[in-house]
Amino acid sequence: MNKIKCTNLSVSYFDKIVLNNVNIKIEKNKITALIGSNGSGKSTLLKTIARIIQPSSGQVYLDGKLIQSYSSQEVARILSILPQSPEAPQEFTVERLVQYGRFPRQSFFGSLNQNDYEAIEWALKSTHMIELKNKRLSDLSGGQRQRAWIAMALAQESEYIFLDEPTTYLDMRHQIEVLNILQSLNKNQNKTIVMVVHDINHAAKIAHNVIAIKNGQVFTDGTIKQILDEKVIENIFGVKGIIINDKLNNIPLFFPLDVVLD
């Protein structure tokens, strides 16, 4: 069932090695969280898997085939990525932004057809943005804008959805709302989701698997119950804390208490 596989993956920016011999497997139809401290290499890994960055060595396999063997349009049909700080002209309406998600699927003539309109409507509804579809991006709150971008990624109708810190800048309610949307996409549409998250408790809430990156290498990986261990978290983030049990959802959560002094 491993549908994304990276073998001996290394990435350098100029002469600086930021990913060093990474070997990971990402299961299909699951939610995988990439965690790790600032600068550990999470975004670089996400972008390398999505073929935005070329590795200096190693391979990425997508559904059993080397990612380089796909055309750019094929990759865009299989995989959508929402980067950390996406940008679009502020005068765009939500609907116009979401229409861009259909680009990889459009015909040579580039006009939208019935399928495109249906996918756009579905994406807007799934993210609770349908009523805001005529609003300009400049007139949206941070949370609404984030949902508009998620809708654009959804409109692509790709099987894999990659998101880089989808809950950053959102208030608590909107953070949970975004997590619920991702969870429902996974449960109801079988989407394979790979997300970079800073809040370990967000990973605990929805991720089946977690990959922890430290200094450009895989520090550990496993289920959230395996990763959520006080010593493991201390080693990944340099933070002391305690594990508490969320009785409502039957998941462990981490409560940070203090930093570990170097």
Ligand X SMILES: Nc1ncnc2c1ncn2[C@@H]1O[C@H](COP(=O)(O)OP(=O)(O)OP(=O)(O)O)[C@@H](O)[C@H]1O
Q: Give the alpha-carbon dihedral of 38, 41, 43, 49, to 10 degrees.
A: -160
Q: Please enumerate in sequence order all residues whose Cβ is within 8 A of that of 178, keeping only pairs 6 or more positions apart, or say none.
A: 143, 146, 147, 150, 166, 167, 170
Q: Are 151 and 98 in contact (CB under 8 A)?
A: yes
Q: Which of 4, 31, 32, 36 binds ligand X (CB under 6 A)?
A: 36
Q: Which position among 32, 44, 80, 201 is part of the footprint of ligand X (CB under 6 A)? A: 44
Q: Judged by CB under 6 A, which stretch of 38-46, 90-98, 141-149, 202-210 contacts ligand X?
A: 38-46
Indicate which single residue of 32, 33, 41, 147 sits in contact with ligand X (rule: CB under 6 A).
41
Question: Can residue 202 be called a binding residue for ligand X (CB under 6 A)?
Answer: no
Q: Is 43 in the site for ligand X (CB under 6 A)?
A: yes
* Number of shown-chain residues binding ligand X (CB under 6 A): 10
Q: Is residue 205 part of the contact set for ligand X (CB under 6 A)?
A: no
| Residue pointed to by tokens 């699927």 | 105
Q: How far is the CB of 37 from ligand X (least distance, A)?
A: 7
- Identify the residue among 6, 9, 20, 40 touching ligand X (CB under 6 A): 40
Length of the chain, please?
262
18 binds ligand X (CB under 6 A): yes
Residue placing its CB nearer to ligand X in the complex, 13 or 117: 13
Smaller CB distance to ligand X: residue 18 or 224? 18
3-class state of residue 126 by DSSP: helix
- As to burial, measured by CB atoms within 10 angstroms (0-12 exposed, 13-18 middle, 19+ buried), residue 125 is middle
For residue 138, give both structure tokens: 């400049």
Q: Which residues bind ligand X (CB under 6 A)?
A: 13, 18, 36, 38-44
